[in-house]
Each structure stands twice: as structure tokens, then as C-alpha cells.
């Protein structure tokens, strides 16, 4: 059948080259695909040496990463595609994977599978095999499989599928040399035959044959895949144009000339046959031990039980904060001793060198002191919290959190996976906002983006810790004094969760009307965390990264604050003028002008809010003795803080506007100024409203 499309296809003017990976002559491009949570990122990191952040829950790799490695004199570019269960669904991530595998200029696809869940994973292998010319099946997590007494007959699978199969454990490096060897051999092969692994029923295959003849005439590249998708998909998947690939108009023409209808029925049949084959392979080549498989189920019977699920979660949260606070105490003191001790010396040097007092003030009392504060107050809690949190993440606890909290989110007409974005927000709100991509429904994703800021990020909870320690942990018992800040921070997080749910509900009834969309959640297997990697990624990658960002902002912010505090117009410094200008307004909310100003200065990084606040207080007050333990409390009291001020600063810190990085990320993710403005306005309104209520109540009561 000639549709007269051949000429037209050669006239294609718009080309899609976004999926063309830049490469040199002797480089090969290897695409890494796989189900979520199969250790794909670990394979990627092992090969390329890049430390991409990995975690034990689906949807972690939301953007594809690129890395390179050399092996036996050849260079390889690895593309880490977002994890996906299938290439058919309409989720953003899965579209990226599908389009890259369809249109990208890769030489070979490696599909990473979870050895403990091969049946489900094989479905994707089959789908990729219809698109990629060369496929390697990498069965990862083989050590986890061994623990569960699952054994896989590699030779049998290899023979049956006629593609290379490698058993690996990327975290220990097992099988990775073999994987490299297989990649090397495969890319060198000249033969470029599609090895579609599944033969469908006669009816489908007959139609594929007919359509293929037509596609061949049009010089279409992936004829079998294209024919199958014409049978089982809407023409939307042909929206991107590229030479050698069918475009949307052509696909519509072919569909109508072949009279292709009922895509959904064909898709269902194809999925069924894919899975039937996967099941057959599993029965033939995988031996399991049902007792061991049920271990996860038994743990979950407790962790996600109706009665213990929530209490365990709360205790866990409190425990993480308690360990963080306890552990941070001593290093914090040591750091502050060293850094403030050095300030004294630095100051002496400046005097000896005859540097003017004004410069000395800017550099030492302004920039250096703020920096020292940021480092000594922020670094220790971060360096403890990040690894602890990553530990829970690696164990596979986060999907259980989503499981336990789902009914609340459902009531708020939001998505159950929003709690996963919130968990990420505890680390960094910008990361949390990007993480919202795991939510398919645009309405619910927006809700998750707009409310993510209610989770106190790492830049904020050291502020919560410091203030609650200074103000409320003043009992006689040192044990209790350790417990109180942990309780306060936990309470703050609960307030944040509650406000998230309320705001989500209100948004669902007003700006973002709608009902909760569908929800499927995989409870991933529990895994032994990789302690070495956790320490590396959380300390080097996250802590140092976050801290250096804060430090870069702390230095100029400190200098400017000092200048403002020491430049006088009339008999008042600029700082005092600005603060007293805000003071009346701030007092309504149980805050003061300096606090409000510090929060404004802290827009680039929340880490500097407390240090700037202290700077401002110190420069106006008379207190100079700041090495003592009760120093923070003394300054605050001297500046008229009451328990209400302390509480409201914590609440304000929890709820106020997002930092500039988060705002920028929201702009990028939503592509809308309007929603970015909403994400700025909603928390700000919430912060003022909540503080107004507490301040009014306090005034009524006391």
C-alpha cells in the first residue's frame, strides 16, 4: 500500500535533535533504562564515578543525568533515564524515557532490573527491546536476591532471550566488570538487528507485517515499534518530529487508511502477552523461597500497621531530631570556640597592621562573625541530620510514610505521594519542588509545589533547634533539656504538616478545584543501607554544598548588616532606623523589627537569618561576652524576647516565604509567574496569620 507519504517525509523541515547526545568520534552513547528503584543510579554512579544522589523509593531520578567513562581505550557516554515501569503511560518521566529511546542517538540500551522482582521488570525489558537495536539485560541487586534465597538462571535467560544478561550488585561492584565487557562487545557489533523479545498473537503480528511494508517504503527506522504503536497508541506519541520517524500527520493517515481502531484493546492484549511471557520466564529461570520473600511483609505488618504505623513514625521523627540535637551540641561548641577564638586573633592582626577600624568592622565583626555563626550553628546539625535521613531513605522507609499518611492527603484532595515531596523538602525545599514531578496529575503537583515550603528545610531547622534550646530547654535536668528542643522541632514539623494539609484542602476547593486523582504506590523492598555511600553523599555532596551556598551569602550579608548598623544618620544607625520602621508592624505579630528584617535579608538563604539577627542585636546592644553557653539566651532576653517571641520566630521561620533558590525552582517547574507569586504569597500569609493568632492569644492570656 503506497500512501504517497514518502516524498513528504523527506521534506521534513523541523528536526528534533534535543535527544541527540553530543559525542566525539570514538565515543559510544549508552542509555540506562529501568524500573524505579532498581539501583539504576548506583550502576550509573559506579560506571561514571559521578555521585548522583540515589534513594530507596520510586521516582528519585527525575531528570536524566549524563556521565562518562572509559574502558579499554574506548569512551562511553552514559545517559541515566528516569526510572519507569513502562514506556506507554502518560507520566512526564516515562515520556522522557520513551522519547529518548525512540529518537535519541544512543548505540546501546542497558536495562537495569531488580533481581528480586524480575517478572515486573521484564515487562520494561521487552518494551525497550522493541525500540533499541542493542539491549543488555543487567539484573542488579543480586546480593539482595541472594539474601532472599532467589536464584536466577542467567545462562537459561541469555539463551532464551538471545541478548547478553549480566548479574550485578552495583553497590559492591560485583559483576560490573562483566557489564563493562558486555557493553564493549555489544557496541562493537556491526549487526543492528532489532531483537524484539515478544511475539504477539497472529492477529497482531499480521497487522504489524502489513503496516511494516508501508513504513519501509517511507524509510521509517523503527518499523516494528512504530507499527505496534500505531496499533495500540494514540497518535500523540508521534508528536515529536525527526527524520526517519513518523510524524503525527503521517500516523493519522496510516491509522485511517488501515482502519486502525480500539487502540486500548490492543494495548491491553499486548500488555497481557508481555506479562504472560515475563511470568513464563520467571517460572522457568527464577527459583524463589516464599518464606524469605515474606520478611518484608512481616516488617510492614508492624511499620504500616493501623495501630503502630503513626506512633512509630512520630517516634522516628522525634528520634532523628533528638539524635541531631544531641550530636550537634558538642561539635557546635568546639567549632564556635575555634572560630570565635580565631576572630580575636584576626582582630589583633588587623590592629597590628593598622587597618582602619571601619574596614575591620566590616570584615571581622560583619562578614567573619556571620560566617562563623553560620558554620558553627548550621554545620553540625546538617552533618548529622542528612546522613540519618538518607539512612531512612535507603532503608526504604519513605514509601511507608506515604502509605501511612495517604488518607489525610486524600481527604485534602491532594496526592498521596505529596508526602514523599515533603520528605525531600525536609532536606531542601528546592529539591522537594523538583521532586513533585513524581506526581502525574498537574493539579496535585501544583498543590505539592505550592505547599512544599511548609516543611522546614535544613537551612531552617537549626534555627528552630537553636531558639528552642536557648529559650525552652532551661530545666534543671540535662536529659530533659536535650529532649525539649527535639519535641519542639517535631511539633513544628507537625504544624507544618497540618498547614500543608489545610492549605492543600483550601487550594483544592478554590484555585485548584478537583478531586484526588488515582494513586498507586509501590512499597519497595527494605534494603540494607550502604553506610559508606550515605556518609559520602550526605556529608560531601549535601552538607558541604548547602553550607557553601549559605557561606557565600553569609559573607556579604554580614558585611552589609554591619555597615547598616554602623552608619549613622543623625544619632541613629540605618539599621536601627529600618528596624524601628518595621517594629510597630512586627509587634502586631509578636516579632520585632530586627527579626522581620533578618528574615528579609535571609531570602537568598535561610541559614543566615539567625546570624544576621544576632549581628544586628549585638551591634546595637552592649553585650560583648558571647562565648558563654547562655550567650544566645542572654542576647535575646536583653532585646526584649519573651516566650511568645521565641515561639513566633520559630513559627515564622517554619512558615514564611521560600528562599530565592526555591522560588527560582518553582518558576522553572511551573513555568508560571502567577504560581511562583502564589508560592510566595501563600506561606507569607500563613506565617503572618499564624503569628497574629498566637500573639493575640498570648496577649489575652498574659
Which residue's CB is nearer to other proteins, number 208 or number 278? 278
DSSP code at position 537 = I
Per-residue x/- mask for other proteins, residues 345 to 384, rule CB under 8 A? Answer: ----------------------------------------
Under the binding rule (CB under 8 A), the answer on residue 268 touching other proteins is yes
Footprint on residues 29-58 left by other proteins (CB under 8 A): none
C-alpha cell at 394: 535507603
Per-residue x/- mask for other proteins, residues 56 to 95, rule CB under 8 A? Answer: -----------------------------xx-xxx-----
Under the binding rule (CB under 8 A), the answer on residue 403 touching other proteins is yes
CB-CB contact of 220 with 214 (8 Å): no
Which residue's CB is nearer to other proteins, number 310 or number 338? 310
- Give me the residue label for grid cell 531530631: 321
CB-CB contact of 77 with 30 (8 Å): yes
CB of 480 to other proteins, least distance (A): 32
Which residue's CB is nearer to other proteins, number 497 or number 612? 497
Under the binding rule (CB under 8 A), the answer on residue 11 touching other proteins is no
Please state, in angstroms and rounded to a whole number, the distance separating the CA atoms of residues 560 and 601.
10
C-alpha cell at 202: 497472529
The residue range among 205-213, 522-530, 540-548, 607-615 that interacts with other proteins, by the rule CB under 8 A, is 522-530
CB of 122 to other proteins, least distance (A): 9
How would you class 667 by CB atoms within 10 Å of its CB: exposed for 0-12, middle for 13-18, buried for 19 or more? middle
Q: Which of 160, 252, 522, 541 binds other proteins (CB under 8 A)?
A: 522
Of 58, 680, 109, 132, the C-alpha closest to 396 is: 58
Under the binding rule (CB under 8 A), the answer on residue 505 touching other proteins is no
Per-residue x/- mask for other proteins, residues 624 to 653, rule CB under 8 A? Answer: ------------------------------
Under the binding rule (CB under 8 A), the answer on residue 217 touching other proteins is no
CB of 466 to other proteins, least distance (A): 35
CB of 307 to other proteins, least distance (A): 9
Which residue's CB is nearer to other proteins, number 42 or number 304? 304
Q: Which of 523, 535, 544, 623 binds other proteins (CB under 8 A)?
A: 523
Which residue's CB is nearer to other proteins, number 216 or number 272? 272
Which residue's CB is nearer to other proteins, number 193 or number 297? 297
CB of 516 to other proteins, least distance (A): 8
Which residue's CB is nearer to other proteins, number 167 or number 335? 167
Coil/strand/helix, residue 29: strand
11-14 contact pairs (CB < 8 A, 24+) = 12/241, 12/242, 12/243, 12/247, 14/241
Question: Rg of the chain's alpha carbons, rounded to an integer?
Answer: 29
The residue range among 157-165, 264-272, 529-537, 563-571 that interacts with other proteins, by the rule CB under 8 A, is 264-272
Footprint on residues 117-176 left by other proteins (CB under 8 A): 117-120, 123
Q: Are strands 27-34 and 65-71 parallel, antiparallel or unpaired?
A: unpaired
Which residue's CB is nearer to other proteins, number 148 or number 360? 148
Q: Which of 282, 460, 527, 656 binds other proteins (CB under 8 A)?
A: 282
CB of 218 to other proteins, least distance (A): 28
- For residue 257, CA distances in Å to 4, 92, 228, 596 come to 12, 31, 16, 68
Please state, in angstroms and rounded to a whole number, the distance separating the CA atoms of residues 363 and 477.
40
Which residue's CB is nearer to other proteins, number 54 or number 404? 404
Please state, in angstroms and rounded to a whole number, the distance separating the CA atoms of residues 650 and 692.
13
Q: Which of 520, 569, 622, 624 binds other proteins (CB under 8 A)?
A: 520
Under the binding rule (CB under 8 A), the answer on residue 404 touching other proteins is yes
Which residue's CB is nearer to other proteins, number 299 or number 339? 299
CB of 633 to other proteins, least distance (A): 41
What region does 440 belong to: left with phi over 0, alpha with psi -120 to 50, or beta?
alpha
Report how many residues bind other proteins under the rule CB under 8 A.
Answer: 44
Which residue's CB is nearer to other proteins, number 339 or number 523? 523
Under the binding rule (CB under 8 A), the answer on residue 210 touching other proteins is no
Of 501, 559, 417, 303, the C-alpha closest to 57 is: 417
CB-CB contact of 139 with 152 (8 Å): yes
CB of 522 to other proteins, least distance (A): 6
Per-residue x/- mask for other proteins, residues 428 to 457, rule CB under 8 A? Answer: ------------x-----------------
CB of 590 to other proteins, least distance (A): 36
DSSP code at position 116 = G
Which residue's CB is nearer to other proteins, number 421 or number 467? 421
Coil/strand/helix, residue 188: helix
CB-CB contact of 396 with 526 (8 Å): yes
CB-CB contact of 141 with 38 (8 Å): yes
Under the binding rule (CB under 8 A), the answer on residue 264 touching other proteins is yes
Under the binding rule (CB under 8 A), the answer on residue 116 touching other proteins is yes
Residues belonging to the chain: 702
C-alpha cell at 80: 541515566
CB of 545 to other proteins, least distance (A): 34
CB of 484 to other proteins, least distance (A): 30
- For residue 23, CA distances in Å to 106, 283, 379, 586 come to 10, 41, 40, 57
Q: Are strands 286-287 and 151-152 parallel, antiparallel or unpaired?
A: antiparallel
CB of 291 to other proteins, least distance (A): 14
Footprint on residues 286-345 left by other proteins (CB under 8 A): 296-297, 300-301, 304, 306, 309-310
Please state, in angstroms and rounded to a whole number, the distance separating the CA atoms of residues 297 and 523.
10
Under the binding rule (CB under 8 A), the answer on residue 271 touching other proteins is yes
Under the binding rule (CB under 8 A), the answer on residue 278 touching other proteins is yes
C-alpha cell at 636: 535575646
- For residue 371, CA distances in Å to 252, 553, 648 come to 62, 9, 25
CB-CB contact of 448 with 675 (8 Å): no
Please state, in angstroms and rounded to a whole number, the distance separating the CA atoms of residues 491 and 456.
11
Under the binding rule (CB under 8 A), the answer on residue 519 touching other proteins is yes
- For residue 266, CA distances in Å to 204, 261, 280, 427, 455 come to 8, 9, 21, 44, 45
User: Which residues pair with residue 174 across a beta bridge?
Assistant: 169
Please state, in angstroms and rounded to a whole number, the distance separating the CA atoms of residues 485 and 280.
56
Q: Which of 147, 174, 181, 410 binds other proteins (CB under 8 A)?
A: 410
What region does 261 belong to: left with phi over 0, alpha with psi -120 to 50, or beta?
beta
Which residue's CB is nearer to other proteins, number 133 or number 300? 300
Which residue's CB is nearer to other proteins, number 242 or number 527? 527
Which residue's CB is nearer to other proteins, number 84 or number 452? 84
Please state, in angstroms and rounded to a whole number, the distance separating the CA atoms of residues 246 and 234.
13
Please state, in angstroms and rounded to a whole number, the distance separating the CA atoms of residues 692 and 689.
5
Positions in the binding site for other proteins (CB under 8 A): 85-86, 88-90, 116-120, 123, 264, 267-268, 271-272, 275-276, 278-279, 282, 296-297, 300-301, 304, 306, 309-310, 403-404, 406-407, 410, 416, 440, 518-525
Amino acid at each position: 500500500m503506497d500512501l504517497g507519504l514518502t516524498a513528504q517525509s523527506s521534506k521534513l523541515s523541523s528536526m528534533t535533535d534535543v535527544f541527540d547526545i553530543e559525542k566525539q568520534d570514538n565515543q559510544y552513547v549508552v542509555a540506562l533504562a529501568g524500573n524505579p528503584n532498581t539501583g539504576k543510579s548506583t550502576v550509573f554512579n559506579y560506571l561514571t564515578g559521578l555521585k548522583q544522589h540515589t534513594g530507596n523509593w520510586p521516582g528519585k531520578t527525575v531528570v536524566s543525568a549524563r556521565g562518562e567513562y572509559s574502558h579499554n581505550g574506548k569512551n562511553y557516554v552514559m545517559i541515566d533515564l528516569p526510572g519507569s515501569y513502562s514506556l506507554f503511560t502518560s507520566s512526564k518521566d516515562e515520556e522522557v524515557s520513551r522519547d529518548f529511546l525512540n529518537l535519541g542517538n544512543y548505540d546501546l540500551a542497558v536495562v537495569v532490573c531488580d533481581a528480586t522482582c524480575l517478572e515486573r521488570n521484564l515487562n520494561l525489558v521487552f518494551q525497550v527491546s522493541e525500540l533499541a537495536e542493542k539491549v543488555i539485560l543487567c539484573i542488579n541487586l543480586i546480593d539482595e536476591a541472594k539474601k532472599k534465597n532467589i536464584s536466577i538462571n542467567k545462562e537459561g535467560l541469555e539463551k532464551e532471550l538471545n541478548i547478553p544478561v549480566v548479574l550485578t550488585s552495583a553497590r559492591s561492584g560485583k559483576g560490573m566488570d562483566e557489564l563493562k565487557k558486555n557493553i564493549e562487545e555489544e557496541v562493537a557489533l556491526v549487526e543492528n538487528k532489532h531483537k524484539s523479545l515478544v511475539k504477539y498473537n497472529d492477529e497482531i503480528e499480521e497487522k504489524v507485517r502489513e503496516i511494516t511494508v508501508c513504513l519501509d517504503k517511507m524509510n521509517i527506522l523503527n518499523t516494528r515499534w512504530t507499527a505496534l504503536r500505531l496499533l495500540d497508541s494514540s497518535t500523540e506519541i508521534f508528536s515529536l518530529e525527526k527524520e526517519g520517524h513518523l510524524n503525527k500527520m503521517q500516523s493519522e493517515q496510516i491509522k485511517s487508511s488501515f482502519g486502525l481502531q480500539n487502540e486500548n484493546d490492543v494495548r491491553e492484549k499486548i500488555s497481557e502477552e508481555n506479562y504472560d511471557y515475563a511470568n513464563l520466564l520467571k517460572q522457568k529461570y527464577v527459583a524463589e523461597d516464599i518464606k524469605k520473600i515474606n520478611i518484608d511483609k512481616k516488617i510492614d505488618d508492624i511499620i504500616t500497621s493501623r495501630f503502630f504505623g503513626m506512633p512509630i513514625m512520630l517516634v522516628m521523627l522525634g528520634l532523628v531530631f533528638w539524635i541531631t540535637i544531641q550530636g550537634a551540641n558538642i561539635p557546635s561548641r568546639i567549632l564556635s570556640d575555634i572560630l570565635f577564638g580565631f576572630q580575636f586573633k584576626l582582630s589583633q592582626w588587623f590592629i597590628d597592621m593598622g587597618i582602619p577600624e571601619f574596614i575591620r568592622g566590616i570584615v571581622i565583626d560583619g562578614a567573619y562573625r556571620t560566617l562563623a555563626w553560620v558554620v558553627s550553628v548550621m554545620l553540625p546539625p546538617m552533618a548529622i541530620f542528612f546522613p540519618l535521613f538518607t539512612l531512612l531513605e535507603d532503608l526504604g522507609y519513605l514509601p511507608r510514610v506515604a502509605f501511612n499518611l495517604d488518607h489525610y492527603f486524600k481527604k485534602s484532595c491532594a496526592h498521596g505521594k505529596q508526602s514523599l515531596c515533603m520528605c525531600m523538602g525536609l532536606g531542601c525545599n528546592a529539591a522537594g519542588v523538583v521532586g513533585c514531578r513524581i506526581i502525574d496529575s498537574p493539579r496535585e503537583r501544583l498543590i505539592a509545589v505550592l505547599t512544599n515550603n511548609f516543611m522546614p528545610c535544613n537551612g531552617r531547622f537549626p534555627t528552630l533547634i537553636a531558639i528552642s534550646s536557648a529559650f525552652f530547654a532551661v530545666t534543671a535536668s540535662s536529659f530533659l533539656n536535650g529532649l525539649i528542643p527535639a519535641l519542639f522541632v517535631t511539633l513544628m514539623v507537625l504544624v507544618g504538616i497540618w498547614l500543608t494539609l489545610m492549605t492543600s484542602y483550601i487550594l483544592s476547593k478554590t484555585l485548584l478545584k478537583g478531586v484526588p486523582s488515582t494513586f498507586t504506590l509501590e512499597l519497595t523492598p527494605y534494603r540494607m543501607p550502604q553506610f559508606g555511600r550515605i556518609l559520602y553523599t550526605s556529608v560531601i555532596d549535601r552538607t558541604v554544598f548547602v553550607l557553601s551556598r549559605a557561606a557565600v551569602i553569609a559573607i556579604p550579608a554580614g558585611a552589609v548588616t554591619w555597615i547598616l548598623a554602623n552608619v549613622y544618620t543623625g544619632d541613629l544607625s540605618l539599621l536601627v532606623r529600618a528596624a524601628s520602621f518595621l517594629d510597630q508592624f512586627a509587634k502586631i505579630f509578636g516579632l520585632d523589627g530586627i527579626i522581620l528584617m533578618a528574615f528579609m535579608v535571609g531570602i537568598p538563604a535561610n541559614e543566615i537569618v539567625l546570624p544576621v539577627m544576632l549581628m544586628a542585636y549585638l551591634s546595637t546592644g552592649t553585650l560583648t561576652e558571647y562565648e558563654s553557653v547562655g550567650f544566645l539566651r542572654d542576647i535575646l532576653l536583653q532585646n526584649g524576647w519573651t516566650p511568645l517571641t521565641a515561639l513566633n520566630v520559630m513559627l515564622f521561620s517554619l512558615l514564611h516565604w521560600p528562599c530565592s533558590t526555591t522560588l527560582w525552582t518553582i518558576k522553572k517547574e511551573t513555568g508560571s509567574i502567577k504560581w511562583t507569586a502564589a508560592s510566595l504569597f501563600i506561606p507569607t500569609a500563613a506565617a503572618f496569620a499564624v503569628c497574629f493568632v498566637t500573639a493575640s492569644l498570648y496577649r489575652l492570656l498574659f
